[in-house]
Amino acid sequence: MKHFLKRYANISSPILITGPTGTGKSKLAQDLFAAATINREKFLTLHLASVKEELIESELFGHVKGAFTGAFENKLGYFREVGHGTLFLDEIGELSHEAQKKLLYLLEEKKFTPVGSTTAFDFKGRIMLATNKNLKELVRAGKFREDLYYRLNIFPIELLPISLDKEVLCSKIFEIFQQMKERFNKKELQISEQVKSLLLQALWKGNFRELKNCCEYMVVMSEGTLVQKEHLPIWFIEEISLKNAVGEKEFLASFPEDYNLAVERFEAWYLEEKLKKFGGRVNQTSRQLGISKTALIYKAKKYKISTIHLRADASAEKLGIWVA
């Protein structure tokens, strides 16, 4: 996340954050705002999925009294209310075609017109957007304007499922676990190596939210100073068991529909499994796979596979060391 903050914090153009539910899109937008020196007046968030379709334009652009049934007074709308601040639009894939058209005009001309009005106002703020949908597929299906998609996709940030980014997963397990220990006054509590291994194996389809629920449960249920397997939620154990027993059909179904994303996810899983098999040793793994050492190192960095951690785990297992 830190490299995103450094590179994107002060970009005035729209920033599009994509990724599955629970990967921290809203949190990243807030962190970008906190790290920025531009558009600092205020930070507003509008969850488009929670707004009725017929009211989205009014919420965004505002309306004048009498513009439609129920419009008893003027409404500023988020684009005007944000002023020189930053507006975060969550679930941008929920916009109607008419609202998409107006948003495109706002991005191009930096102007907008409230519903029922003929007066245009200048937009002086900054926009960040997020979605858990595949906008390319929506474009192909005719549900999202192609010109708007390319206008939004100048500075994209894609957040991967946390199960694919072991570095982020490890740091988040530690961070959330520490928070839960403080919350429930169990400061001496530690995670057993067996539980740590299980946490790193999980698919975490709910991403950070699911991880937080799991950490809260195991901290509450743990007795003594060590979290053991029996302290994990039943649903977590069932998911791990299902993953270990999964057949070819279910395994394939776990991959995304987008071909390129599916290929990358499989490659990340495949390379990590092979590096684990050979104890994180790059030379031996590259020889066995028939690829160059340089290519393997590049791909390991791309998918954030830590060969150092894999070698350390292999050494600990060989020596029979279990660290809490």
Average pLDDT over residues 44-48: 96
- Residue 208 backbone class (left: φ over 0; alpha: ψ -120 to 50; beta: rest): alpha
- pLDDT, residue 171, reads 87
% the chain with pLDDT above 90:
55
Q: Which of 22-26, 115-119, 165-169 bottoms out in mean pLDDT, i.e. has the lowest?
A: 165-169
Q: If you ran DSSP here, which 8-state letter would residue 160 be given?
A: P
pLDDT score of 8 more than 60: yes
Q: Three-state SS for 155?
A: strand
Q: Three-state SS for 32?
A: helix
Give buried/exposed letters for 269-280 (b at 16+ CB in 10 A, else e): bebbeebeebbb
Q: What is the pLDDT of residues 189-216, one digit of tens each?
A: 999 999 998 998 888 888 998 999 999 9
Choose among 63, 65, 93: nearest CA to 78.
63
* Average pLDDT value over all residues in the chain: 88
Domains along the sequence of the chain with CATH: 2-158 (3.40.50.300), 163-319 (1.10.8.60)
| Range among 66-70, 187-191, 286-290, 310-314 with highest mean pLDDT value | 187-191
- The Cα diameter of the chain in Å comes to 77
Query: CA-to-CA distance for 165 and 251, rounded, in angstroms?
Result: 19
Q: What is the pLDDT of residues 249-273, one digit of tens each?
A: 566 666 777 878 888 888 888 888 8
Q: Which of 126-140, 252-266, 278-292 bottoms out in mean pLDDT, i.e. has the lowest?
A: 252-266
Supply the DSSP string of 90-101, one letter for each residue.
E-GGG--HHHHH
Helices 166-183 and 193-201, interaxial angle, to 10°? 130
pLDDT score of 279 more than 80: yes
- pLDDT, residue 249, reads 57
Which burial class, exposed, middle or buried, applies to 95 when counting CB atoms under 10 A from its CB (0-12, 13-18, 19+)? buried
- pLDDT, residue 323, reads 40
Q: Which of 125-134, 239-248, 259-268 bottoms out in mean pLDDT, i.e. has the lowest?
A: 239-248
Supply the DSSP string of 56-120, one letter for each residue.
HHHHHH-B-TTSSTT--S-B--HHHHTTTSEEEEE-GGG--HHHHHHHHHHHHHSEE--BT----
Choose among 124, 205, 218: nearest CA to 176.
218
- pLDDT, residue 192, reads 93
